[in-house]
Amino acid sequence: MNRVAVLGAGNGGLSIGAFLSLSGCSVQLFDKFPAAIEQIREAGGVTLKGVSRTGFAKFDMITTNVVEAIEGCRMILVVTPAFAHRELAETMAPYLDRGQKIVLNPGRTAGAIEFHMRTKVINPKADFVVAEAQSLIYACRKTGPAEVTIFKVKNEMALAALPATRTEEVLQELKPFYPQFIAAENVLETSLLNIGAIFHPTPALLNIARIENKELFEYYMDGITPCVSNVLERIDAERVAVAKAFGVKTMTCIEWLEDVYGSPHTDSDSIYEAVQKQDGYRGIKAPQNPFARYISEDVPMSLVPLAEFGRITGVPTPTMNLMIDLANLIHQKDYRAEGRTLARLGLEGVFLDDLKKFVATGTPLP
């Protein structure tokens, strides 16, 4: 981790990159879009504020060339929207030949599976391991042209590699900087514990008029009302049922808040009540773009694969499907066609037991 590539110059990428820079790492920052890094390049880095390390964090490389960014780096931290994972895998595949460790922060649902499968299609002899975090470790926002603020650091965060037999070696690399990462059983556990699938698309869809009118409101505190919470709880129950059918450990959304933030939930009867007690979400503003990532990323990369995993296990997911249909109608898109379906993941027709062996040991799928 002395030299690390951070792919993505958004809220999470800048926060992770700045923290690692201030922790003594040489950071090579990549973003696909020149405008995203123009002012950061002029400054030579970013100022980090908030509850973690603070100060000016210098980046040793700031580039729009991903191959240049990963050169010489044993650890590659991907902190982009999940819909970029496929393209990054395809671009980097010819250069993943030195046992590099790639961590998706987060993978959303089936991120590591998609990255692994696409890389192997392009370069069957690729030598690498890909892991995924269950969520982003920070609640953070870019708060200036070359400034980022970390509002809250999660107490612990599940992480798994593909195959799971290599999870520990990834954790050992991260441990000096991120002791919060703990081993999940496998990437099915991290994928099915995708709380972003609960908190992101549905509140955005049900507050779409406020967002489209550029109303200023707090996304979590104002956007998750008791009625919105009712829908979230149905989606969460479907997610938990799918995870149980896979036989992997999971927790409810309310339990997750306690686990990662330490927020009291024992007397919370709803997601609404649990969120209202969560100081880490206070001050986080709602997006003002109706095509924001909370829908355009989290529907195809979270809800779609969760519903698809429901198909493998025979668990019905009517509320997830309702939200996917609503997003398709509002955005006039087909998020199922462009999302992480079983077919696009290379898993169509795969039996449950074979999939579980694949994520556990890397046993090739039949």
Residues catalogued as catalytic: 200, 298
- For residue 353, give every residue at least 6 positions away whose Cβ sits within 8 Å of its Cβ, in sequence order, or none: none
- The answer for residues whose C-beta is within 8 angstroms of residue 138's C-beta and 6 or more apart is 11, 12, 15, 16, 52, 150, 151, 152, 153, 154
Query: What six digits make up the tokens of 322?
Result: 């309702």
CA dihedral 64, 67, 68, 72 (to 10 degrees): 140
Q: Which two tokens stand for residue 63?
A: 């580039």
Give the Cα separation of 352 and 313 in Å (integer): 7
d(CA 208, CA 212): 6
CA distances to 26, 42, 140, 146, 262 from 49, rounded to whole Å, are: 19, 19, 10, 11, 22
CB contact set of 226 (below 8 Å; sequence gap of 6+) = 270, 272
Give the separation between CA 8 and CA 64, rounded to whole angstroms: 10
Compute the distance between CA of residue 55 and CA of residue 37 in angstroms, rounded to an integer: 19
